Amino acid sequence: MQYEIVRGNRKTLAAQIKDGKLIVRAPLQISDEEIDRFVRRHRRWIETNLTRSQTAKTVRMLTPAELCTLAERAKRVIPERVAYYARLVGVTYGKITVRTQRSRWGSCSGRGNLNFNCLLMLAPPRVLDSVVVHELCHRKQMNHSDRFYAELLRVFPDYREQNEWLKENGARLLAMLPEK
């Protein structure tokens, strides 16, 4: 992976994506080997954000009206999917919230409240379902342990394929969000 190093009077390493390129900001005294380790450790974040940056140049941004329509549709569709899969997982849940998020597809709070990204409405229905089941399985395991994945795969055997679709295409969907 190629990157530009900008050394300066700072205490920590930082990665920045600018104009589709990776810039690593580093303290003056840090070695090139330490910088390489930092880049390897943060490879997933870097790749995701490089893709997002490069994709943003070619993807049409959603208008505020389109985002509102997506959110309204998600508020109708997602609760139905949650209710259906909650019975299969064997869990209850709290409040369901739909948001426009830049980094998450879903989350589950310790109180059982579920949050989902309205951009899931742009993904295939099975991908949406995979995120719903993922979050519902957190009602049994608030982690990503082997037990969590065993439960997830019991209810949703093709989870890995759907998750792969999200990894490959999610950055393109997130790039459709207008700048803040």
User: Structure pTM?
Assistant: 0.70
Q: Where are the beta strands (DSSP E) in the chain?
A: 4-8, 14-18, 21-27, 96-99, 106-108, 114-117
Q: Where are the domains of the chain?
A: 4-56, 64-174
User: From CA 13, how far away is CA 175, in angstroms rounded?
Assistant: 26
CA atoms within 13 A on the CB side of 38: 19
Give residue-wise pLDDT tens across range 54-101: 665 666 889 999 999 999 999 999 999 999 999 999 999 999 999 999
Confidence (pLDDT) at 104: 93
Quick one: fold of 64-174? Zincin-like (3.30.2010)
User: From CA 35, how far away is CA 14, in angstroms rounded?
Assistant: 10
Mean pLDDT of 172-178: 88
Q: How far is CA 54 from CA 116, 164, 166, in A?
A: 25, 20, 17
Give residue-wise pLDDT tens across range 9-21: 999 999 998 878 8
Confidence (pLDDT) at 168: 87
